[in-house]
A and B are shown apart, each in its own frame.
Chain A
Amino acid sequence: MAGDMTAGKGTASGVNPIHVSARDVAVSFGPVMALDGFTADIPRGIVGLLGPNGAGKSTFIKASLGLLTLDKGSISVGGLDSQTQSLLIRDSIGYMPEHDCLIPSVNAVELVSYLGMISGMASLDAMQRSHEMLDFVGIGEERYRPIKSYSTGMKQKVKLAQTIVHDPKLLFLDEPTSGMDPQGREELLGLVKKMASSEKTIIVSSHILQDVERICDYAVIINNGKLVRSGEMKTLLAGEEGVRSLTVRGPAAALSGYVRALEQICQIIDKRDEVGEQITFLVRGCEDGKKVFRLAAENGVQVRSLHPERLDLEEVFLRAFRGGGRDGH
């Protein structure tokens, strides 16, 4: 192979080499700009690609595969250019589409081995490997039934099997848990984590933020064809340094007095009133917890919790869409 899919070009956050790199990418469908100056570096590992419907996630994936002509910019996948070396790229990637795309009249073994052969495997290899991959994803004897008789969860597993049959180095999984029940989701996410341990880069496009938060090492948030935010998951989920979450409880009048007093010693960034008897603050500059407790005692309110700010991905996502959050955080 001319290109080396294991060759990284640099580092993101100083941890993993970059596997996919987009620079000022623009793709339009008539008057609609699907990608508009999109720039991002995607490192190795499990990477979440997040964004609302129509954000440009699928367009980015198609453009990375070389299926779309870029209006401007460039995408590099493992050091290969998506426009001029698309066949080499496609030989080294696996793509699990979001929508139903399996041929209903054939069975899972026939389909997976057929697609393995189209990916360049010899007939015998493809047959053996398709059985191995169907075992891996948990499709048992049903593999000999026509795909049209499968449940949604089984179809998702067959889609995953066809994605990995040729052992690609990079996987694009578009909404892999879409339409699956909790147990099926659990199984599929487990499979994704197992595959990642064999040094694959897995780009997961999903609306289910809990899934992404659980399995991804890195996240890229995209909206209106532009990068909104990206970074390592632990960095994204860690709150801003020096910001704490404080929850106090007490009578309404006492709470008002406490707020006034608190404003004298720290900066209140956010305040969430809960049924008039409890308030949760985001405060900056309250490193001295003793002062906070002393003010609470003086004002007759009870401190229920005081801890450094912790976010979940949903909050990160919402803040990114509100315009970058506080201080670009």
Chain B
Amino acid sequence: MGINPIEYHPWKGERTAQNLRLYVIARSVFRHKVRSTGVIIFMVLGFLLVHTLNMLLFVLVPHERLENSDMSSYLANGTFAIFAMLLAAVVTSDLISEDLASSSFVLYFSRALKVRDYLAGKTAGALLVMSLMCAIPPVVVAFVSIATQSGNDYSYSLGVLGKTVLVGALVTVFFVPFGLMISSFTKRKSYAAVGTFMSFFVLYIVAGIFSEFDKAWRIISPIDSLSILFNWLYEGDVPSYVDEGALVAIVASLIIVPAAVVYFRLTRQVVGK
């Protein structure tokens, strides 16, 4: 403590608005994740295997404009969704499980922070990281393709670029709520990561088994449903055995239901009931 004891001094600064504090959590998550080895590995693999190869292909192969079919074969072939799923499993695994394990919820909620803001902060941080792999690179690839196109039909190409923005945003958002839900079920981040991956893998297997009898079952696999959805967005049609309403419902429910579950679980955790 030194020769002269250190005294307590009041703080005289200004407080930020309560509704802005979720950005502190988002920024912390983002900074922590972009330094994480697991996230870096998946990012590098994803960039190389999914985006870089396709970008080289788009640059090297002469093209008059950016085609829907090119982007569809790039983003709807399943590889992109699988990498997004793996990255989401790694990114979301410790977001809630670590707070559960260390009982640190009380440090957050004894402050002027709502469960909603806590979750929004964690989700926003995860989405920022996911967007580095899922939203930004496809847009960059599309831009590069437009920049190297030989024709002048830029309005068509920009239309495809707009769809690419939508697809990137959808993939970024799609896996995060599910990952957060699994993370809220366990205190170990390894269980959360494996749990997220296995949940999607099991759905994929189940869809594979039942699609032997009825191909419509394919849509319960998140990977397949995303691929079908992207094809629909780019090319405007879905396979005849797929009901569009059911497809949208499956995709929406895989986002909304986990988000609701994690919210209610945390609300109960906070009050200790």
Could you tell me if A67 and B102 are in contact, using CB atoms closer than 8 angstroms? no
Could you tell me if A101 and B16 are in contact, using CB atoms closer than 8 angstroms? no
CB < 8 Å neighbour of A105 from B10, B98, B273: B98
Could you tell me if B7 and A118 are in contact, using CB atoms closer than 8 angstroms? no
Chosen A-B contacts, 17 in total, with CB atoms closer than 8 Å, are A67-B109, A67-B110, A67-B270, A91-B18, A91-B112, A95-B106, A97-B107, A101-B102, A114-B24, A115-B111, A118-B111, A119-B15, A121-B13, A121-B15, A122-B16, A164-B8, A166-B11
Could you tell me if B103 and A99 are in contact, using CB atoms closer than 8 angstroms? yes
Extra 20 A-B pairs, beta carbons < 8 Å, given A91-B18, A118-B113: A62-B272, A67-B109, A67-B270, A68-B271, A69-B271, A90-B111, A93-B110, A95-B110, A99-B103, A101-B103, A101-B107, A103-B102, A103-B104, A115-B111, A120-B17, A120-B21, A121-B11, A121-B16, A122-B14, A194-B7
Q: Kindly state the separation between the CA atoms of A129 and B11 in the bound complex, as whole angstroms.
A: 8
B61, CB-defined interface residue at 8 Å: no
Chain B residue with minimal CB distance to A134? B6
Could you tell me if B11 and A118 are in contact, using CB atoms closer than 8 angstroms? no
Q: Kindly state the separation between the CA atoms of A188 and B110 in the bound complex, as whole angstroms.
A: 21
Q: Which residues of A contact B7 (CB under 8 A)?
A: 136, 194
Q: Which residues of A contact B114 (CB under 8 A)?
A: 87
Chain B residue with minimal CB distance to A138? B1
Q: Which 10 A-B pairs give the minimum distances between C-beta atoms?
A: A120-B15, A95-B110, A167-B11, A91-B112, A87-B112, A117-B24, A90-B112, A101-B103, A125-B13, A120-B16
Q: Which residues of A contact B109 (CB under 8 A)?
A: 65, 67
Q: Which residues of B contact A125 (CB under 8 A)?
A: 11, 13
Q: Which residues of B contact A195 (CB under 8 A)?
A: 8
A227, CB-defined interface residue at 8 Å: no
Chain B residue with minimal CB distance to A59? B272
Contact with B along A182-212 (1 / 0, CB 8 A): 0000000001001101100000000000000
Contact size range, A: 35 or more
Q: Is the interface of B mostly helix, strand, loop or mixed?
A: loop
Could you tell me if B8 and A198 are in contact, using CB atoms closer than 8 angstroms? yes
A108 CB to closest chain B CB (Å) equals 13
Could you tell me if A100 and B102 are in contact, using CB atoms closer than 8 angstroms? yes
Could you tell me if A119 and B271 are in contact, using CB atoms closer than 8 angstroms? no
A54 CB to closest chain B CB (Å) equals 13
A294 CB to closest chain B CB (Å) equals 55
Could you tell me if A136 and B107 are in contact, using CB atoms closer than 8 angstroms? no
Q: Which residues of B contact A62 (CB under 8 A)?
A: 271-272
A148-183 at interface with B (beta carbon < 8 Å): 162, 164, 166-167
B128, CB-defined interface residue at 8 Å: no
Q: Kindly state the separation between the CA atoms of A88 and B18 in the bound complex, as whole angstroms.
A: 9
Q: Which residues of B contact A261 (CB under 8 A)?
A: none
Chain B residue with minimal CB distance to A99? B103
B239 CB to closest chain A CB (Å) equals 46
A135, CB-defined interface residue at 8 Å: yes
A104, CB-defined interface residue at 8 Å: yes
